[in-house]
Chain A
């Protein structure tokens, strides 16, 4: 039981390039989230999903896209990378029964855009 896994761990992009950050969970959680964490700051929600085929914007969605075709996977897409997107990106998931809002996080992807 791996929990939440993210790939890659590190990535350097040039301005204008695109990439997809991968996130997979094996806990059969319906809810999944993408956050970004800037140095010395808390996490800010980019997008979230309440189930396969359903996604919604969080606090800072501009410049990102997501899709949720399966329960397990929730990839985050950057289409035209900008220096302002340099950050650490965390994926999280949570269940829908019992203590549903307890989010479990992956190890993060450190992205630098130059």
Chain B
């Protein structure tokens, strides 16, 4: 199946720091989604991207659709304890199937 490489695998940061993570693919995607998953819960949609180069914000979160269409980036500014969780990227080449990355686990140290 399609492989999405997400990095870093885990991050430990101090409260107030900025966070960057990315997702890369060997294939071109038409849509990128970013999700956050808390323990024992389903993923919650954070940001959706539909065009190459698109930059979209949701509060302290900003995501970008890479211009090569093979990658996407998520930044979190001024992290707070409730940002803790696992962040997943998901990409769609066409049709109705999304492929998910393996996740970035974020720990925020107060």
Q: What's the count of A-B pairs with C-beta under 8 Å?
A: 63
Q: How far is the CA of A35 from the CA of B43 in the complex (A)?
A: 11
Min distance, Cβ B51 to any Cβ of chain A, angstroms: 12
B66 at the interface (CB under 8 A from A): no
Question: Which parts of A90-114 form the interface with B (CB within 8 Å)?
Answer: 90, 92, 99, 101-108
Per-residue CB contact flags for chain B residues 44-58 toward chain A (1 = under 8 Å, else 0) read 110010100000000
Per the bound structure, the CA–CA distance linking A42 and B88 in Å amounts to 7
B97-A43 in contact (CB<8A): no
A43 touches B100 (CB 8 A): yes
Q: List chain B positions with a Cβ less than 8 A from chain A.
A: 1-2, 4, 6, 31, 33, 35, 40-45, 48, 50, 88, 90, 92, 96-103
Interface residues in chain A, defined as those with a beta carbon under 8 Å from any beta carbon in chain B: 4, 31, 35, 40-45, 48, 50, 56, 58-60, 90, 92, 99, 101-108
